[in-house]
Structure 1
Amino acid sequence: MGYLNQNTGYVNDLLSTRAVIKKDNFAIIPHDGLVNNVIPGFEQCDVTILASPKLGASFVDYLVTLHNGGNNNVGFGGGEIECFMYITKGQVVVEAEGKKHTLTAGGYIYCPSGVTLYFENDNQGNDSQAFLYKRKYQPVAGHQAHVVVNHIDNLEKVHYEGMTDVIVEDLLPKTLGFDMNFHILTFKPGACHGYIETHVQEHGAYVLSGEGVYNFDNNWIPVKKGDYLFMAAYSPQACYAVGRDESFSYIYSKDCNRDVEI
């Protein structure tokens, strides 16, 4: 079923998967079937590349498991690349611009272009896990981004488009220096989007909790905690939260604050 679930070797049933890949449109990638990618700079880490330009994304998303001593001391991002790291489990020490910060689950760091991110597992010999992102930054005259270090406990919980059972959290500032943002949407069981969205923005999303039924280009597909979701530009999208007690919640990226280049 894949290295991440520690379920490999002989199978006792038919080979099957919940993964759905529609390049340049949408994708659902569950934990089952994920493979480990060897990437220079990532030491004592298992790294899965989730979305990339090969799928149709303008960004790259990763799921990184940092084992005892896991680190990237070579550096991630820098140059023209902006990057983002969100801790899903454990504790990680991150460094940017010569400053170190300790992030626990729910903590995150954004580094603009020109700033390199370094990180190391700090979870007392246990594994940590992180959702990692990179993208080529689109500068605009008179504005610039900056390093952001924060935790979701510090964020304002806003009723999404006036709906009290749907909460949105904005992880980055809404200023023109930032050409993208990260958000967390949380739906109580039974809640849903107010309409099916169709827009120029693309998303890469990682499901943090619960279960839902998601509309991908008018295909209603069940998803759950641990699934990775990709939605390309103009792919119709919306969801219902299902289940009994646990809210359906996911973190996702969105390109913003720029005109379309032609």
Structure 2
Amino acid sequence: MTIFSATGISASYGRTRILHDVDLPELHDDEVLGLLGPNASGKSTLMRCLTGEKTHHGRIVLDGSDRDEMDVSAWHRRVATMPQTPPNPSVLMPTELMWSTARALDLDFSDRELADRIEDIFNRLGLDEFALSPLHVLSGGKRQLVGLALALLRDPDVLLLDEPTSALDLHWRMVVLDLVRERLTERGGVVIAALHDLDLAARYCDRIVLLEAGQIVASGTPGEVLTPDNLARVYHVETSVSRDEQGQPVVQVIRPIRSGKQVAR
């Protein structure tokens, strides 16, 4: 079983504090946590703290082991990241990028196992027909799918996704998040995803953390977090929140809230 926690996370750029003692809920196997918030809310900085790219204060613990005390290679065998920026256009083909990444990480797969694994991931992401196309001829959305394939390659216990669907249309957004869910069902682990789309977050996340100016405004289930009051405070929009057949919230944005205007509930 995978247990992941991050507590007291604070970070700054120069003298400007970006994150203020952020405590994420403790995550267990098969759980997806969504990080929501407007631009400059601290989502990307928090993701960079979790991945280790950004210096920060606080504790990040995986199965009882503090990340600061873990061997770097051991951490990266268990934690994989899909950055917001897709792989750069180049003459490399997706297949070549997958093989070179696997060998650089010294993944414990035979050539046959690795080939089968790459084929399966490409199949699920609709990348099989682009496997031998240079990255520079692929769209940004396709390269974003290659970025997810690279993160899935190592079969991590913790998957960190920074805006994993930003360059994708609605169909492929759902394909990606369906695959993430399928993967948790098949092998366990936890996922933390920074997202923009409120309805997709409600559909796919078990828990949501709503950020504003580097602090948590609300944390809980989608139904607890995605309320008209919380959305008015953070996004400055008037919303109507209903429930779908599974009881999950469905957000309808009605209008922007002008500064100082009170919204009737």
Q: TM-score, normalised by structure 2?
A: 0.31
Bigger share in helix: 2
Bigger share in strand: 1
Highest RCO, 1 vs 2 (Cα 8 Å, sep ≥ 6): 2
Q: TM-score, normalised by structure 1?
A: 0.31
Q: Which has the larger radius of gyration?
A: 2
